Structure 1
C-alpha cells in the first residue's frame, strides 16, 4: 500500500461526509488521513494550518458556494496546490464549466457516486497533481540548465577566442578564492569583535574595526567589478561612446578620489601642460584606465615615495604619464603584464587580481591609443598612455 494522503472533505451534510469517508477508507490502493469541515470558514482555517493532498468540495455550503471557496483558497492560501474535486447534488453543466475554469480537477454528481468512482477520481487527481509537480520541477530545472548552458556557452565562446579557456577558468576560481579569503577573514574577525566586545570598546577602536570592514568590503567589491568589466570585454560587449571631455575637470575629480588612498608617506605631484582641449573620449573607459593605473602606483608603493601624474596635450593627441617609486617589476615579466591575471613575482602579500593593466590596455585600444610600461626593480614603474584627440575607430 502506498503512503498515506491527507484528504479534506468540505460538506455541510454529515451523512454525505460519512459516505465519502467510508468509500475512501475501503480503497485497496491508497490510504488516507481524512479531515472534515462543515463550513467554508472552518475549511479555510484548516487549509491554512494543514497542507492537504486533495480536497472534496461540496458546491453548496451554508456560508458560501464552492466556487467562492475556490477563490478564497487561491487568494488567501497562495501556496496551496491541493487538487480539488467538486461535488454537487445535481448535474449542472454550466457549474461544471465554471468550476473547471477555476482550476477544479474533477466534477462529480452525488446521486451517481459509487465507491469505485470516488476512489478512482481521488487517485487520479492525486496522480495528476504529482505528475504536474514533477513536470513543473523538471521544466524549472530545464530552464535553469538552459540559462546556465547559455551563460557557459557565452563565456566559453569568449575564452575560446583567446585559446585559454581552461587556464582562464582555473585562474578565475583561484584568484577569487585567494583574494576573497584574506579580506573576508578580516571582515568576519572585525564584525565578530564588534558583536562580542563592542560595548567594552571605546569609540576610537570601534571606528577602527568599522574602517577595516569598510576597506575590505570595498576591495572585494572592486574585485567583482574588475571581473565583470573584464568579462564584458571578453564577450565583446564593451561599447566606445566618445564625447567632448574637459580633461582638466575630469582628471581633477578623479585625482581627488585617489588622493584619499594616499598615506602620509606618499608625495603626490599633478602637472598639466600643452593643449589638452578638444579631446573626445569615453569617460567611462577613461576612468577605468586612470583608476587602475593610479591604484597600482599607490598600491605598489607600500613604503611611500613620489607619485607623479603628468597630463600633456598636443595638437592631435594627449599623453598621460604616471610614475611611482615603488617596488618595480622584474624585467623578464614586464612583457606579460598586460595579460589577464598576470602579476609580478615580487608583489608578495600586496592584494590584487592581475586584471588592472589588462583592463587599462583594452580601454586604451578602444580609444585607438597606445600604452607602454617601463620599470626597474626597487626603483618604481612608469606607464605612458597616448590617446588621439579624435579616435578614428
Structure 2
C-alpha cells in the first residue's frame, strides 16, 4: 500500500520545524558561551527567552514548547555550575529553571495565540477577497456550467475540498448533479432533506464512506434552486464555524446566480416569443390585406353568374355556387387573420357603449341563420339583465365564433344553448353543445393561434376562432375558458364586468 502523500508532506514539515528549533537553541548557546565570563546568568536567561519568543513567532506553538525545554536544558548544562552536567550546585538555580520554563511556556502560549489569530485574520481576509472576486465572476456568467465550474474551483482552491451542485427537475421531485469534472458521490436522502427544509445538513458518518457529508441549500430570494454538496478529505480536520459560514455565503451567491440565469432565460424566451408573434402578425396582416380585394372580387363574380341571361346550365350553376361558398369561406378566413393580426398588434380600439346583450345575441343568431339551421337553438337570458358597456361588433364576433364552433362539432339535430347570468359583479355568458367536447389535456393550448380542438378532424377551420375570442374578451377586461359537461358536450363561457351603467332620467309627461 503506497504511503499517503499528504501525511508524508506533513511529517517532513514537522521534522524541518523541529530541526530549525534545535538549531536556534544551539546557535543561542554558542553565542552566549563566549559571553559567560561577562554576563550575569539572568541576562543569559533573557537570551534564551528571546530565542523562545522568536521560535514561537516563526515556527508555532509546538516548536516553541520544544525550544522552552531545550533552552532550560542548555542553560543548565552550559551555564550553571558545575558546567557540562545536569547537576546543580546551588538550589536557587532550580527556582531559576522553574521560572525560566514557566516564563518561556507563557510567552509561547500568548505568542502562539496572537500568531494564530493573525493567521486567521489573514486567512479570513484572503477568503473575503476571494469571495468578492467570486461574486464578480458569478455576476457575469451566462451559462449554468460556468457557475458550477467557478464554484467548484473556488472550493477546491480555498478549502481543498470537492463539491457538486444538485439541481431539481422541472417537477422538483428529484435532484440531479450538474456534470462537471470528477463525479462526487452524494447521499441523495441528505440532499433531499436540505432541499425540502432549506437548512444546512451534515453527517459525519458518511464521511468515511467516501460520500459528501455537507449539504447546503441554494436558497434564492424567489425559491429554492438546488443543493451544494461538499466533501472534505478523509484525513483533513473537521471544518470549523468559519469554514461553514464561508460555504453558506458561497451557497447564497450560487443561488442568486442560478436565479439570475433562470430569469435571463425567461426574458430571452419571452423576447423571442414576442418578436415571433410580431413577425407572424405582420406577415398575416400583409397577406390578408392583399388577399381581401381579390377574394371579394371572386365572390362578386360568382354571384354574377346567377344573373347571366340566358340562365346557365344546372351543372354550371352548381359550380358557381361551389365557387361562391369556397370564396366566401376563404374571405372569412382572411378576415379572421386580419382581425387576429390587429388584435395582437393592439391596433383595435374598442367602441364601448352601454347596451343590451339581447340585441347582440339576436344579431349573431340572425347572421348565422344558415350555419345553425340544422340544430335546435335555445337562448336563456334573465329578464333583468342590466346594461353592459362593450363593443357590439366585437362581442358579436365572439358569439358568432362560439356558436359556429358549436354547430360545426355538435351532431345534427342536437341542441345548442346560449345562457347568461349575473354573478359576483360579472355577467357570465356560456355556449353549450352536445358534441364530443374538448381534449382537456391540451386545454392550455386551445386558445393559441392555429390550434384546433380535435387533433384529427375533417371539419374545416384554422384554429383562430377561440384565439380571436380570447383577445376580444381580455381587451374588455373579461375572462374566457372552456370545460366539458358531465352529461357530454362542451361549454365555452366568458364573463364581462358589470360596471356602473349611467342613470336614465324619466321623461316628464
TM-score, normalised by the number of residues in structure 1:
0.48
Looking at secondary structure, tell me which structure has more strand per residue.
1
**Which structure's relative contact order is higher, taking Cα pairs within 8 Å and 6+ residues apart?**
1
Q: In proportion to residue count, which structure has more helix? A: 2
What TM-score do the two structures reach when normalised by structure 2? 0.38
